[in-house]
Amino acid sequence: MFRLVTLNLNGIRSAVNKGLLPWVDSVAADCMGVQEVKAQAADVDGRFEHIAGMKGHFHFAQKKGYSGVGVYARKEPSDVVIGFGVPEFDDEGRYVECRFDTPHRKLSIISCYFPSGSSGEERQQAKFRFLDVVYPHLQRLKGEREYILVGDINIAHKEIDLKNWRGNRKNSGFLPEERAWMSKALDELGLCDVFRRLNPHPEQYTWWSNRGQAWAKNVGWRLDYHLATPALAETARSEKIYLDQRFSDHAPLTIDYDFTL
């Protein structure tokens, strides 16, 4: 069994201060994708490059205290790809791909942090540009290898994926164009929303606003995903959103797959 976790940390130092490391130890994951590391190599080296027997492989943003993604892996990858070749977004530290290739299989685990557009129109336009350029990249990759992309996609796909969907139809994260991108990724590109394949139930959220009493009232959004190529998605067996502790404004999502690296 292959256990894969995704978690937007909202700052690795902050998450560690909130008790992240004992939890990661207890989960015994094979890989963990993290987003919003909000650190540089100098902050991670000697402190966070190894967690629970896994080695971290990172894509840091040029801007300090911003974005940044990583894949922690128990097994050494055959290759690590930093960024996906678009300077605007590679400068922001949004994509790292660990490849675990054998003579019989080409397989990637990707941690990706899609931009948020909630701070204003300028960032929303950047988000649309990101969606436009990451789609053909994922399409090309699917023609070459199997993969699971985990990360904070910053899109709630359907009405079931957020509590107050009626009031958010004109807000970033639930805009028609964003939802259409997700539908296209699933229906035309052929990726699988693995969590939804396993869990069709409402009120399954991974992010809660810090405003009001969103967490206490479970007024949340499902923004964190495992998007897998079909053969890998078929091997998914169980899912869990961990809610017993809070390391971030996001919750960890763990999925077990019936294969080994």
Cite the active site residues.
Answer: 152
Closest by CA position to 67, among listed 173, 3, 146, 154: 154
Residues 6+ apart with CB under 8 A from 246: 18, 215
Which amino acid does the sequence have at 218? N
Decide: helix, strand or coil at residue 162.
Answer: strand
H or E segment at 141?
helix 121-144
Question: Residue 169 has which token pair?
Answer: 């139809």
Torsion of CA 219, 94, 197, 240, to 10 degrees: -60
Other beta carbons less than 10 A from residue 113's beta carbon: 27
Beta-ladder partners of 184: none
Q: How many CB atoms lie within 10 A of CB 100?
A: 20
Q: Which two tokens stand for residue 113?
A: 């942090």
d(CA 40, CA 42): 5
3-state secondary structure (DSSP) of residue 146: strand
Axis crossing angle, helix 121-144 with helix 176-187, rounded to the nearest 10: 0
Query: Look-up: residue for tokens 């540089």?
Result: 40
